[in-house]
Amino acid sequence: MLLALVAGPLLAALIVVRRAPGSARATAAWCAALHLALTVVFVVFAANSLPVAGDAALSFEPIAVPGDPGLGKKQPTATTTWTLLPMGTSTPDTALHSTAMQFFLGVDGLNLPLVALTSFMTLMAILVSWESVGGRAGGFYCWLFLLQAACLGAFLSFDLLLFYVFFELTLIPAFFLIGSYGTGGGRRDAAKKFFLYTLFGSLFTLVGILGIAISNPTPVGPDGVRVKVVDKFLPATGAVTFSIPELMSNVRTWDDAYEAAVKRAKPDEVEAAVAAQKDRRRLAVWLFVALLAGFAVKVPIVPFHTWLPSAYAEAPLAVTLLLSAILAKLGTFGILRIVLPLAPEPAVQYGLAFVGTLGGIGIVYAALCAYAQKDLRLLAAYSSVSHLGFLVLGLFALTLESVSGAMLHMVNHGLTAGALFALLAFLADRYRTLDVHQFGGLFARFPRYTFFMLIICLAAVGMPGLNNFASEMLMLAGLFDPRNLNRVGMGLAICAAAGVFLSAWYTFTMTRRVFFGPVKEPLAAIETKDVTSREALTFGLFAALCLALGLFPQPVLDTMAPDVKRVVGAAEAARTRLNPNQKSPAQYRGNEKTTSNH
């Protein structure tokens, strides 16, 4: 089923590319609906089969891995034997850990909600573009399905090189969707700018990927066998691996080994041991920066967002929906899957202070930009940047609450941002303009449309009972963790709270101008009919999911909890190494048992 999830969009692309424009739309919709049905079945089965993270869990444990040698024995190993590109010889002791690029796909609590979101958004994009594609529907939907396949491959990858390949492949269909099917005169320049900006940042990420793998080879003990716990010796270097679960374990093992080497060093060896540890930490900082570069552009984090206004303004609204709801999540997901687990010490030291500061600036800056926009499409685009800055703060606060909230917000923001662009497509189809000053009093003209718009706007600003509220409150709770209550943490918490207020300010200002007051609409109205049955289905599904996740977020939180615990566990271990005297959360609450009175 997992292979079918990735291969299904590729097959759909081959089917729709040769269809006539009229039949291509219906064929694409049926293919996307079938894929969504398969995804729902897969998600239900997988969510009930995910392993629970124990206290000793050091790395991710994906399930449903094609090529897992333990599947036939009903003892999955969370590894694969499917090799795409061997890069060295393997020994009997390291047969599954030899240097190679592997076709290592799997599912866990972090990617399962995003897989469901990707399939759902693809169907919504097809329904949104129903009237606007024109005579080249076959090619448009072909590129759309190829984009879906690349996104799913990136979310499901547990091999660093495989992830990078899928991550880069998303650029090709996005480039053609913007450049060939865009709605403005500058669409080709916008497509080139998007492609070059993202590619440039991704090249730094590739350097970071190679550096992380080479600097954290398989640790081998004196007997030549892989080790995971080191306290008496510095391991030998084994094979280089690109497996994310293996690397996550390797990073922690090597960090603990260098820490142990300093503690057990003889007086004449202390200086050399400390120097070796400092060199490793200095290298980790540079690799952290390199890994983050490509993901910061993809999100985008201010000031790496300059490609966004032109791309969002020129792309078809169905493509803008996917850019905001799915492709932006590739950046935040890359931070969660790769940067935080594989560079935990720099993330603890510098993540909130530097990257979090950029996120805080982005929250306020993008919110003010959103308020100043005349084009509703750009208002929604800058609103998305502001909310994504909030998400970045949650990730780098590195607490269970904040990371859980950030992961939940990836889904919630995907729904609300996608729904907002889908609703804007309603106006674009009827008036061919999204200039806010040309609209007014549309509630009288389109009451049903106004109803759906108000629900999504309330969800976007964090109305209790709707989806964004739960994730935003969790992220704020993480910022108010005692270990983050320094000057930087308090300032960022204020920025996050201000972002919630500013979001309501520009959102409700927009709704007042567009939907209330005297009726005002562009003269060149193509259609004045209220929501059609197809649009009602699209908007209704968005509204229903926003309400469902607002009232019942716990099933999603429970699904992701074990793997969030693994990411936060790596950060906690890094905190302990960097500052052994720092109190744990339990000690701050006074719940930790001590022996001071004995």
Residue 134's nearest CA partner among 276, 264, 284, 20 is 20
Residue 57 has pLDDT above 70, yes or no: no
pLDDT at 592: 44
- In 3D space, the residue among 412, 363, 461, 410 whose CA is nearest the CA of residue 564 turns out to be 410
Task: Collect contacts of 255-261 with beta carbons under 8 A, ≥24 apart.
Answer: 255/280, 255/344, 255/345, 255/573, 255/574, 255/577, 256/229, 256/230, 256/231, 256/573, 256/577, 257/219, 257/230, 257/233, 258/234, 259/577, 260/230, 260/231, 260/232, 261/234
pLDDT digits 0-9 by tens, 103-146:
999 999 999 999 999 999 999 999 998 887 776 788 899 999 99
Which tokens hold the place of 104?
């290592």
Burial letters 495-523, b for 16+ CB under 10 A, else e: bbeebbebbbbbbeebbebbbeeeeebee
Asked if residue 550 lies in contact with residue 467, where contact means CB atoms within 8 angstroms, the answer is yes
Say how far apart CA 18 and CA 350 lie, in whole Å.
51
Q: What Rg do the C-alpha atoms of the chain give, in angstroms?
A: 25
In the prediction, which pLDDT does 45 show?
92
SS3 letters across 62-100: CECCCCCCCCCCCCCCCCCCCEEEECCCCCHHHCCCCCE
What average pLDDT does the chain have?
87
Residue 526 is predicted with a pLDDT of 66
528: tokens are 């004045």
Model pLDDT for residues 453-506, shown as the tens digit of each residue: 999 999 999 899 999 999 999 998 888 888 877 778 788 888 888 989 999 999
Q: Are 327 and 175 in contact (CB under 8 A)?
A: no
Structure tokens, 420: 């907002």
Is the pLDDT assigned to residue 95 strictly greater than 50? Answer: no
Average pLDDT over residues 291-315: 88
Q: Mind listing the pLDDT tens digit for each residue in 194-208? A: 999 899 989 999 999
Percent of the chain topping pLDDT 90 = 51
Q: What are phi and psi of 371, to 5 degrees?
A: -65, -30
Max distance between CA atoms of the chain, in angstroms, equals 85
pLDDT at 44: 92
Model pTM score: 0.91
What is the pLDDT confidence band of residue 53, given thresholds at 50, 70 and 90?
A: low
Residue 593 pLDDT level (bands cut at 50, 70, 90): very low
